Amino acid sequence: MIAVVGLGFVGLTTALGLADVTGRTVYGYDANIGLRKMLAEGTIPFYEEGLEQMLERHLHKRFRLAECLEDAVEGADVILVCVGTPSLPGGEVSLDDLLGALSQLSAALTNHGRKVIAVKSTVPPRTMADKVIPLLRSGGWEPGRDIGLVHNPEFLREGCALKDFIEPDRIVVGAVDDWSFSVMRELYAPFEAPLHEVGFETAEFTKYLSNSLLASLISFANEMAMAAGAIGGIDVRRSFDILHEDKRWRGAPAGMAKYVYPGCGFGGYCLPKDTAAAIAAIEAHGYTPTLLQEVVRVNERAKLKIVNDIAAAAAPDQVLGILGLSFKPGSDDVRGCVAADILSALAERGYRHMLAFDPMANRAFASRYPKLPLDYADRLEEVIAGADTIVVLTAWPIFTRLKADYPDKQWIDGRYCLI
């Protein structure tokens, strides 16, 4: 049996979606008596396409309302907590309702059968570790021993939440132990979607990552529309319609996901030049493109981070292995490449023993940046043999397995590409 605590937008969608797809009985509980009464009459206090019909189909059958928390969770194997975490004036979220519900849940549980508590509420990273686990321990429950514990963030869009739940594109589960993972695998087995088993912090962060990206895209579009208005003569709607015809939105030749991935910064000839030129052109017409300005600043910080990581890992008198010089895999173009900026910064810090290899760009890099204190290897194996600390600056496919093949080396992965 399944229990869902909190029957608002997320909780009710979760409860009815699980009842419909899994065929299991779902008990729902909400502390709001008025909401429970409304749901018992088959009415939903908000609009969500298909949800009221789903309630009508399963109410008093697969979906049953509990009058108290104890009744809801008594026979449940999995308890999904869907309590709101509203914003506070300073931008932080209030965990009061969630922690209050978990405290009540801790008191309501008995030792009759091991259960998994799955928190679906959106919470800041480290909430599970720093808040939820201590709370459960204070109630006499040791997560991973007495009880399973999971963070299982939701990715529902208002207006199509039921469809999103029933046909998810991914399911994310952060768990305290293997048993908790196994229970969640069984719960979501009927859903045809990849299930990602990760740590608590990764699960918590992934939800913020998703929504922050969407917010950033909207603000980018709005900033560029305001910039277009300042310049004048630009058909904003048509400009964006044309932008959307870029094949990369559809995954070819390289999907947009390739761009929404971290590394040590963007480089090359076009992106740095055109971004800087766009900022200058927009500023010349009296508008300050703060988001674009911050794009450039973040790019500089990304390069500096790798330099600092290298400095923390290796002394200037050590031999550094450098893998990748071109601005991207599959090219020998080194104009404006990130590697040049990073290696220049290392040279300024006294690093004089750097051995580099790039499948295509050794010669072009040596020609364009002759003053860098850099030696070049003709073969990848020379770098592996000659350096204890190895830095990856371009995500060539031939580099991806090197960390696993040479675990005795110290690796600094500037492209998050090593497996």
260 is in an annotated binding site: yes
| Residue 370 annotated as part of some ligand binding site | no
159 annotated to a ligand binding site: no
Report whether 157 belongs to an annotated binding site.
Answer: yes
Annotated active-site residue 337? The verdict is no
User: CB–CB of 161/168 below 8 Å?
Assistant: no
Q: State yes or no: 261 annotated in a binding site.
A: yes
Residue 30 marked as a ligand binder = yes
Q: Which tokens sit at 399?
A: 């580099």
Longest dimension (CA), the chain: 78
Cis? peptide before 289, omega within 30° of 0 = no
The order of strands in the sheet holding 2-5 is 63-65, 26-29, 2-5, 78-81, 116-119, 148-151, 171-175, 195-198
Catalytic residue (one of 82, 160, 270, 417): 270
Cβ count near 277 (within 10 Å): 10
First-residue to last-residue Cα distance in the chain: 39
263 labelled ligand-binding: yes
> What contacts 161, CB < 8 A, 6 or more positions away?
9, 10, 13, 48, 51
Question: What CA–CA distance (Å, rounded) separates 339 from 322?
Answer: 9
- Tracing tokens 């909780």 back to the chain, one arrives at 11
d(CA 298, CA 314): 24
24 known member of a binding site: no
335 appears as a binding residue in the annotation: yes
- Asked whether residue 185 is marked as a ligand-binding residue, the answer is no
The answer on whether 158 is annotated among ligand-binding residues is yes
For residue 379, give every residue at least 6 positions away whose Cβ sits within 8 Å of its Cβ, in sequence order, or none.
357
State the Cα–Cα distance between residues 298 and 294, nearest whole angstrom. 6
- What is the rounded CA–CA span in Å between residue 50 and residue 41? 17
Annotated ligand binding at 155? The verdict is yes
Residue 406 annotated in ligand binding: no
State the Cα–Cα distance between residues 11 and 14, nearest whole angstrom.
5
Locate 254 and state its tokens: 């390289």
Q: How far apart are CA 45 and CA 52, in angstroms?
A: 10
Binding residues for substrate: 155-158, 207, 259-263, 267, 328
Binding residues: 30, 85, 122, 155-158, 207, 259-263, 267, 273, 328, 335
Binding residues for NAD(+): 30, 85, 122, 158, 273, 335
Catalytically active residues, by annotation:
270
